[in-house]
Amino acid sequence: MSERSFDISRRRFILSAGFTAAALSLTPRQFFGAEQNLVAGARASGAKAKIATQALRGNVSALIGSGGNIAVLPGSDGKLIIDSGYLTSRPQIAAALDGISRDPIKHLVNTHWHFDHTDGNEWMHSAGATIMAHENTKKHLSTTTRVDDWDFTFPPLPAAAIPTELTGAEKTLHLNGATIALRHYDPAHTDSDISIYFTEADVLHTGDTWWNGYYPFIDYSTGGSIDGMIKAAEANLAMVTDKMIVIPGHGPIGGKSGLVQYRDLLVTVRDRVAALKGEGKSLNEIVAAKPTAAYDAKWGTGFVNGEFFTKLIYKGVG
Ligand SMILES: [Zn+2]
C-alpha cells in the first residue's frame, strides 16, 4: 500500500468510525486535521488563537500561540519581528505587538518558507516591514510549491509578501542597539532554515529545527530530511550554553536541556526505524511495530503524532 493510500484509508476509517473511542482519543487538532486538510485546518484555528506575550531578556519578547513562535525586538529603528504567524490571527498578533511598544513595524525576518511562519508577511509588509529571509525562502514563496505530506499545493504569494532582502550562509544586522546574527542551516526541516541570534540578550530563535516537546514535521518536498534535522539539532547544541534562552519554532521557550532531549529523541527513533527498515520490514509493518510508543505520550500530542513521525523518518533512512 502506498503512503498516500495509507493516509486516505486512515482518514476514511476515522470518518466512518464517527465518535468512537478511537476518534475521541485524538486531540481536537488531530481530529480536525482528519476531517479537513491539515493546512486549511491549521489556518482556520488561527482565527481563535490566543497570543501569549513572554518577555525574555534584553528587550526580546516572544509571542506564542499563532503558527510558529514569533520573536520581537522593539526600539528606535522600529520593531524587528521574527516570523509572521497565521494571517487569520492578524488582530491578535497586532494587538500583542502594540502591547509591547508603540514603535512601528519595520523589519520582518522569516525563519523558513512555511505558511505558519509566513502567512502574515503581506499585512506586516503593508504595515511597514521590509522582509528578509534565506534565498530559498524567496524561491519557495515565489513559485507553486507542493507538500505531499500535507496534501497541499501552495500558490505563489503576492509580491508584497515575498522577501526582498536575502541572506546566504550568514548575515549580521545592527538594529535597536542589538547585534543580530542570522545563520543558514544545512538542509534540515527545509532547505531554507535560518537561526536568529540576539547576541547581547543571548536569545536564539531556532525556527523549526527545534520543536520543544513535539515530534517535528520534516519537509522532504523542499529539502528536509531526518538526518538533516539531527545535524541541525547538533548545530544548535554546539552553540547553546547553560544560560542561553532558546525560542523553538513550536512549543514553549526552553534551553540547553530541552535541546539535548530533542536531539536524543531524533537519534533514537531514527535508529529504530532504520533498523526495522534494514530488516526488510514494510512501512505498514514498521508503523504497526510502533517504534515511537514509549515517546508518544510526551511528544506525540501536537501537529505530528507517532505514526506520522514514523512515516517521515521511514522516508529518509535506508
Ligand atoms: Zn516549518
**pLDDT on residue 6:** 37
Cα of 19 from ligand 1 centre, angstroms = 31
Cα 187 to ligand 1 centroid, rounded to whole Å: 12
Asked whether residue 83 carries a pLDDT value surpassing 90, the answer given is: yes
DSSP class of residue 156 equals P
Ligand 1 centre from 7 Cα, in Å? 21
Whether 49 shows a pLDDT value over 50: the answer reads: yes
Taking the centre of ligand 1 as the mean of its atom positions, its distance from the CA of residue 208, in whole angstroms, is 5
Spacing, Cα 67 to ligand 1 middle (Å): 9
Cell numbers that stand for 248 in this block: 523553538
Q: How far is the CA of 112 from the centre of ligand 1 (A)?
A: 7
pLDDT in tens, 259-304: 999 999 999 999 999 999 999 999 999 999 999 999 999 999 998 9
pLDDT at 256 > cutoff 50: yes
257-271 b/e (C-beta count within 10 Å ≥ 16 → b): ebbeebbebbeebbe
Which of 13-17, 190-194, 230-234 bottoms out in mean pLDDT, i.e. has the lowest?
13-17
Using pLDDT thresholds of 50, 70 and 90, give the confidence band for residue 171: very high
Neighbours of 224 (CB within 10 A): 28
Q: From ligand 1's centre to the CA of 86, what distance in Å?
A: 13
Q: Which pLDDT score is estimated for 36?
A: 80
Question: Has residue 21 got a pLDDT over 60?
Answer: no
The predicted model gives 91-119 an average pLDDT of 98
pLDDT of residue 109: 98
Distance 104 CA to ligand 1 centre (A): 27
User: Looking at residue 35, what is its pLDDT?
Assistant: 61
- CA–centroid distance, 274 to ligand 1, in Å, is 24
Q: How much of the chain, in percent, has pLDDT values that exceed 90? A: 88
Using the mean position of ligand 1's atoms as its centre, give its distance from the Cα of residue 232 in Å. 14
Q: What is the pLDDT of residue 25?
A: 33
Q: In the structure, what pLDDT confidence band is assigned to residue 318 with cuts at 50, 70 and 90?
A: confident
Position 14 scores a pLDDT of 34
Is the separation of the CB atoms in 180 and 173 below 8 Å?
A: yes
pLDDT at position 16 is: 29
Contacts (Cβ under 8 Å, ≥6 apart) of 251: 69, 210, 211, 212, 213, 214, 302
How far is the centre of ligand 1, averaged over its atoms, from the C-alpha of 134 (Å)?
14
- Reported as a single tens digit per residue, the pLDDT across 116-166 is 999 999 999 999 999 999 999 999 999 999 999 999 999 999 999 999 999
Ligand 1 ion: nearby residues, β-carbon < 5 Å = 114, 208
CA 124 to ligand 1 center in whole angstroms: 19
Of the candidates 45, 132, 48, 36, the one whose C-alpha atom is nearest the C-alpha of residue 84 is 132
Instruction: For the full predicted model, state whether its pTM sits above 0.85.
Output: yes
Give the distance (Å) from ligand 1 centre to CA of residue 114: 5
